[in-house]
Structure 1
């Protein structure tokens, strides 16, 4: 008879997510995952089957958590310009309790070019975020908050690239004032 799990799988995935977010996929060893989750090697492999499986679960967890906040902002009743400003501020105001940067951006660079499954997950995530940003821009164009002569999808792609750049800058050590200035500049371009 198999022994029952004596740990919270959700907490283990969250801890692994932070380890991958901090160091990247390749640089995070099984020992690092054991230290982060508090689990033994056998518990990790019995539950998640492989480092890659645990990474997939951690990446999905990250996407779910981060997108929930993003979509809450974009789906609110606030004016479109305020919603876009809030999204940019969210990127500038990352909590100190989180690793710097973005697990999605890191994974695009590290794994996207050669891991088809991870790349498909990242592309699907990107499309969902672009769709939500595009809808907000269209809404703002209808109300006159944004110029109607600009392509909404192109603006959404600009915002996505700006936010990704802010995450890279944060990973490189940019302070809050720098990130806030980037957000303000992006808002000025709209």
Structure 2
């Protein structure tokens, strides 16, 4: 008779996600994961597979959580400008008790050039993010908040590049005031 799991899979996956987010893939050992997740090594392998598979699952978990938080914030926004400000502020200020930066951007920088699985995941996530930004930009263009001088697809690519840059910069000692100025300048650009 198979034993039932003595842990909540999502809770321990969240712990792995956090450790990878803080340390990166290469600096995180299986021993680190076992200790931080609070489960036995055998349970880790049986439930999540090897370190690489666990990392990919942690990336998926991060993506699900971030997408849910962003979708909720955008949905509450009354204007396209407010929605973009929410996204920028979310990326700059983070969530309470979360590491700075972004696990997906960190993964792209650390591994995408040599890991096809990671590259595919972050490429898909970036495509979805650009589509979400395009929808917000179209909303702003329809309502007259944003200039229609540029194509919404091109603007979404531009804004996404700013968004990714902000995620990288949040891991540095750059003052948040500067990051907020960059975000506000990007919105002013959209307004025309």
Within a 5 Å distance, the mapping from 1:126-165 to structure 2 comes to: 126-165=126-165
Alignment partners' CA distance in 1, 2:102 and 2:22: 9
Within a 5 Å distance, the mapping from 1:1-190 to structure 2 comes to: 1-76=1-76, 78-190=78-190
Normalising by structure 1, report the TM-score: 0.93
Alignment partners' CA distance in 2, 1:49 and 1:157: 35
Gap change, CA 1:77 and 1:95, over 3 Å in 2: closer
Please identify, of 24-33 and 107-116, the stretch whose mean Cα deviation from structure 2 is larger.
107-116
Give the unaligned 5+ runs of structure 1. Answer: none
Residue-by-residue CA offset, 1:141-190 (whole Å, 9 max, x unaligned): 11111111112112111221112111111111223323222222222222
Alignment partners' CA distance in 2, 1:77 and 1:94: 18
The answer to whether the 8 Å contact 1:25/1:55 transfers is: yes
The answer to whether the 8 Å contact 1:80/1:136 transfers is: yes
The answer to whether the 8 Å contact 1:102/1:168 transfers is: yes
Normalising by structure 2, report the TM-score: 0.92
How many aligned residue pairs are there? 190
**Displacement of 1:77:** 5.7
Give the unaligned 5+ runs of structure 2. Answer: none
